[in-house]
Chains A and B, each alone.
Chain A
Amino acid sequence: MKIIELFQGISTMFQQEPKVVILRVVLIFLGFLLVYLGKKGTLEPLIMIPMGLGMSAVNAGVLFMENNQIANLIINPLLTTTDDLMKYMQINFLQPIYTLTFSNGLIACLVFMGIGILCDIGYVLAHPFISMTIALFAELGTIATFPIAKLMGLSDGAAAAASIIGGADGPMVLFAALKLAPEYFVPISIVAYLYLSLTYGGYPYLIKLLIPKEIRGQVIVDKKPKHNITSSEKLIFAVIANALLCLLFPVAAPLFLSFFIGIVIRESEISKYVKLIEDGFLYFATFFLGLMLGVLCDASTLLNPVVLKLLVLGIVALTLSGIGGILGGYVIYLLRGKNFNPVVGIAGVSCVPSTAKVAQKEVQKVNKCAFILDYALGANICGVITTAILTAIYVTLLQ
């Protein structure tokens, strides 16, 4: 036995095509970089640290399996038959998590439950029309990316799934890709989550580019007396909206149910369930989402030429949505006789609560007394609702 054969990863690595080997090495180092950027706080650590580690492990740990096929002992996302699934669930370390939680959308629903628990729907109930208008403008990317994707040669389903990236809602992208373009589920999810963690860094520049400094520091004066929104009002709204949206769009009923059940539990103050969903489900789902996205970044999967198109479409969708949101902010600014801060518009892009925090941070850099977080969170939560609605319509029309 040659000494190199003792180290299967190395011997297998160099028996692949040169382009695969190069990409594997690049991805191993990209994994290191993601862990570093996650630790530093530049990218979202909750997703990026497990993702980076998974990415480097899956590209390094290759070996020859049966029929001389190169694979790994972590995951195989391309299994289709029941026999293969049952067999590999007993061999691959993360196959059970992928098959039983990822590829059926359960993980997206668990994250959505967590988002529901974190959302105070009272911000939406306080200003429903303002929040909804901004959220609808911030869907520009979800709408305008579709024809661009079609021009780039994608199918209707893949074009719609790529457009949903513009909604900046990770679980929704997973759900749409599963329903509309299961063949591109892996690359679409990876591209979406990679970009979603970058929006945190990119949107402040978009705000500075499109909104002059003097408008950025605008204080919003509430002329009407504020009504306190009670828990019962929030609960009644969540119960009715859930039933109504499930009735209108049964294809997205799991998502609506997950989101509104989070809200209802929060407003019912069932502390044990709140703790279970917030500390248990949400962190379980986020951890495995990150790890799973990392191990799905296998070089052979990413060599698919469609990945390059998705990378372009993802950035186009998120940029357009950011621009649309700010445009919506300007529309409200003009409609309310300049008594509004257009920076709130960026929060319409529903990356809860990142974009709302970005908006508040940018405003406070200019004017320390300006507080826009309540409007920003309203637009943010409405963004989740509008993205869910648009996803449901795309799925209903195209499935």
Chain B
Amino acid sequence: MLLSIGVPLKVMGIGIVISYGIAFLIKILLVCIRMFNKGQKHNN
């Protein structure tokens, strides 16, 4: 039983890291894109 819990726990652990990694990626991308757009507008 204990051995069989190991696999899903590992899956969940890696899953949480990757999923929140994607959420962070979204935030960072949005900030970068908006900064880039602002800079371009400023230059124009």
Q: Residues of A with Cβ closer than 8 Å to B? A: 124-125, 128-129, 131-132, 135-136, 139, 142-144, 146-147, 150-151, 156, 159-160, 163, 227, 229, 232-233, 236-237, 240-241, 244-245, 248, 382, 385-386, 389-390, 393-394, 397-398
- Give bound CA distance, A397 to B8, whole Å: 10
Find out whether the CB atom of B33 lies under 8 angstroms from the CB atom of A163.
no
Find out whether the CB atom of A233 lies under 8 angstroms from the CB atom of B33.
yes
Chain A residue nearest to B21 (CB atoms) is: A244
- From B5, B7, B9, B23, give the contact of A128 (CB < 8 A): B23
Find out whether the CB atom of A146 lies under 8 angstroms from the CB atom of B15.
no
One digit per residue, 1 when the CB lies within 8 angstroms of any chain A CB and 0 when it does not, for chain B 11-43 equals 110111011101101110110011000000000
Chain B residues lying within 8 Å of A237, measured Cβ to Cβ, are 25-26, 29
Find out whether the CB atom of B8 lies under 8 angstroms from the CB atom of A146.
yes
Q: Which of A129, A147, A227, A245 has the most CB of B within 10 A?
A: A147
- From B1, B4, B22, B34, give the contact of A385 (CB < 8 A): B22
Find out whether the CB atom of B33 lies under 8 angstroms from the CB atom of A232.
yes
Given contacts A144-B8, A240-B25, contact A393 B14 (CB under 8 A): yes
Q: How many A-B residue pairs have CB under 8 A?
A: 84
Given contacts A136-B16, A232-B33, A386-B15, contact A398 B26 (CB under 8 A): no
- From B7, B18, B30, give the contact of A156 (CB < 8 A): B7
Given contacts A236-B33, A393-B11, contact A151 B4 (CB under 8 A): yes
- From A139, A236, A385, A390, give the contact of B29 (CB < 8 A): A236
- From B7, B10, B15, B27, give the contact of A136 (CB < 8 A): B15
- Give bound CA distance, A135 to B16, whole Å: 10
Chain B residues lying within 8 Å of A151, measured Cβ to Cβ, are 1, 4
20 additional A-B residue pairs with CB within 8 Å, beyond A143-B8, A147-B8: A124-B26, A125-B26, A128-B22, A131-B23, A132-B19, A135-B19, A139-B12, A147-B5, A150-B4, A151-B4, A160-B7, A233-B29, A233-B30, A233-B33, A237-B25, A237-B26, A244-B25, A386-B15, A393-B10, A393-B15
- Give bound CA distance, A159 to B25, whole Å: 32
- Give bound CA distance, A240 to B27, whole Å: 13
- Give bound CA distance, A129 to B20, whole Å: 7
In the assembled complex, how far is the CB of residue B5 from the closest CB belonging to chain A, in whole angstroms? Answer: 5
Chain A residue nearest to B26 (CB atoms) is: A128
Chain A residues lying within 8 Å of B26, measured Cβ to Cβ, are 124-125, 128, 237
In the assembled complex, how far is the CB of residue A162 from the closest CB belonging to chain B, in whole angstroms? Answer: 12
- Give bound CA distance, A215 to B10, whole Å: 34
Find out whether the CB atom of A143 lies under 8 angstroms from the CB atom of B23.
no
Chain A residue nearest to B5 (CB atoms) is: A147
- Give bound CA distance, A129 to B21, whole Å: 10
Offer 10 A-B interface pairs, CB within 8 angstroms, sorted by A.
A124-B26, A136-B19, A139-B15, A146-B4, A146-B7, A229-B30, A237-B26, A237-B29, A382-B19, A397-B10
Given contacts A139-B15, A146-B4, A393-B15, contact A132 B29 (CB under 8 A): no
- Give bound CA distance, A160 to B1, whole Å: 15
Find out whether the CB atom of A389 lies under 8 angstroms from the CB atom of B19.
yes
Chain A residues lying within 8 Å of B29, measured Cβ to Cβ, are 233, 236-237, 240
Given contacts A132-B19, A389-B18, A389-B19, contact A143 B25 (CB under 8 A): no
Chain B residue nearest to A129 (CB atoms) is: B23
